[in-house]
Amino acid sequence: MSANNRVVLAYSGGLDTSVAIGWIAEQTGAEVVTVSVDCGQGGEDLEVIRQRAIDCGAVEAYIADAKDEFAEEYCMLDLQANGLYMDAYPLVSALSRPLIVKHLVTAARQFDASVVAHGCTGKGNDQVRFENGITSLAPDVACLSPVRDLALTREFAINYANKHNLPIETTHHNPFSIDQNVWGRAIETGFLEDLWNAPTKDVYNYTDDPTYPPLPDEVVISFEKGIPVAIDGVKVTPLEAIVEMNRRAGAQGIGRIDIVEDRMVGIKSREIYEAPGAMALIEAHKELERVTMDREQARYKQRIALRWSELVYEGQWFSPLKRSLDAFIRDTQEYVTGDIRMVLHGGRAVVTGRKSETSLYDFNLATYDEGDSFDQSYAKGFIEITGLTSKLAAARDVKFGKGEAMPKLNLS
């Protein structure tokens, strides 16, 4: 790498990436530009992080407030898909990586850099998400992982930071590896690596203990084409909807997830998540789909959502197949408009009411009371026809003496 080359580094403000600034410069002779993206992770102010990057030796520090962008273009698509990896994980970290990649590429163009670096290890999914993303958006840009490729271990980082007097805490040791944004929080490592160990109270931050909940909280969420647009009649942006539901569902301990997950590299790992807003919104959205979506479209969508979630988990956000599935998912949302009433209490978000102008529910067809308009005589022929293949197969079983699974009539 020539001396005038620049490296753009995804910078969290933490120990590892703070050390990476100087370490990359030393090892490659390049100037380092940091990029920090706010996806609603809370914590330190972006300006504090920017100054730390400069103090650690960055020549430029790019910051982006991407909270609304993240909510609108990433979280909302997951909500419309009801996207859960392994039927459980609302893709919190997986969703944020492609957004960070977009800003990394923007910065690489702006500061004329030919390399992008990230602080991921060589064991996880995030390295794949970053590097696949970069390859998709900027095939001419190379990727560098100082932790994986330049032997930047935790111990090395502590010694380096002390030796160079970097303005970063090296003594405080967090037992967990945590990634968080407005869609949720992921907690791993430490004593959680023993699968039998139950999570302790200090693991959680977005949710209160559901064992001792406050009084039940009733909420009405209004959707337009699968996007929440109002809560209890007050208009909200997607970001506001998530923040508000994080607060209310979080207070009831909703959205705690404790699973063993299949990582891309083949490792099974223990993951704790908390995603109160995401899980409550998905619950509401699913029910509104049950009311408004055509049966066959809904069945097919479930399969699409499963594949979509796998693609997102596996760092294929910008892939052609993922984009085609996006189009399918968005198309299914045309009539997913209406209100869902839920009671949030003791770790659960339970739907208690639905209302929609675009509903496919027909009271007169469904009712067993006065006003029933369903002609029950149609059902007889319908059953004849749908049962015909089984009837033929059963008759053949009897003919070939294979009917023993059927109960014999005892007429004596």
Number of residues that bind ligand ARG (CB under 6 A): 11
When binding is defined by CB under 6 A, the residue of 84, 94, 137, 305 that contacts ligand ARG is 94
The answer to whether 50 is a known catalytic residue is: no
Q: Does 128 bind ligand ARG (CB under 6 A)?
A: no
CB of 192 to ligand ARG, least distance (A): 11
Q: Does 288 bind ligand ARG (CB under 6 A)?
A: no
Binding residues: 10-18, 89, 119, 121, 125-126, 129, 177, 261, 273
The answer to whether 341 is a known catalytic residue is: no
CB of 46 to ligand ARG, least distance (A): 20
Contact pattern from residue 151 through residue 190 relative to ligand ARG, giving x for each residue in contact according to CB under 6 A and a dash for the rest: --------------------------xxx------x-x--
Q: Does 110 bind ligand ARG (CB under 6 A)?
A: no
CB of 97 to ligand ARG, least distance (A): 8
304 CB neighbour count, 10 Å cutoff: 17
DSSP for 263-319?
Answer: -TTS-EEEEEEE-HHHHHHHHHHHHHHHHHS-HHHHHHHHHHHHHHHHHHHTT-TTS
Nearest Cα to 130, choosing from 90, 165, 169, 179? 179
When binding is defined by CB under 6 A, the residue of 17, 93, 181, 356 that contacts ligand ARG is 93
The answer to whether 177 is a known catalytic residue is: yes
CB of 13 to ligand ARG, least distance (A): 14
Nearer to ligand ARG, 13 or 338 (CB): 13
The CA-to-CA distance between both ends of the chain, in Å, stands at: 94
Residue type, 149: D
Q: Does 132 bind ligand ARG (CB under 6 A)?
A: no
Nearest Cα to 91, choosing from 243, 329, 279, 290? 279
Nearer to ligand ARG, 17 or 292 (CB): 17
In contact, 194 and 272? CB cutoff 8 Å:
no
Eight-state DSSP code of residue 85: B
CB of 120 to ligand ARG, least distance (A): 8
The answer to whether 356 is a known catalytic residue is: no
Work out whether strand 115-117 and strand 142-144 pair parallel, antiparallel, or are unpaired.
Answer: parallel
Containing 330, the helix (H) or strand (E) segment is helix 320-332
Taking the CA of residue 362 as centre, how many other CA atoms within 13 Å lie in the half-sphere pointing to its CB? 7
Nearer to ligand ARG, 125 or 246 (CB): 125
Q: Compute the distance between CA of residue 366 and CA of residue 372 in angstroms, rounded to an integer.
A: 7
Nearest Cα to 99, choosing from 124, 75, 135? 75
Binding residues for L-aspartate: 121, 125-126
Residue ranges in contact with ligand ARG by CB under 6 A = 93-94, 125-126, 177-179, 186, 188, 261, 271
Catalytic residue positions, numbered: 16, 97, 126, 177
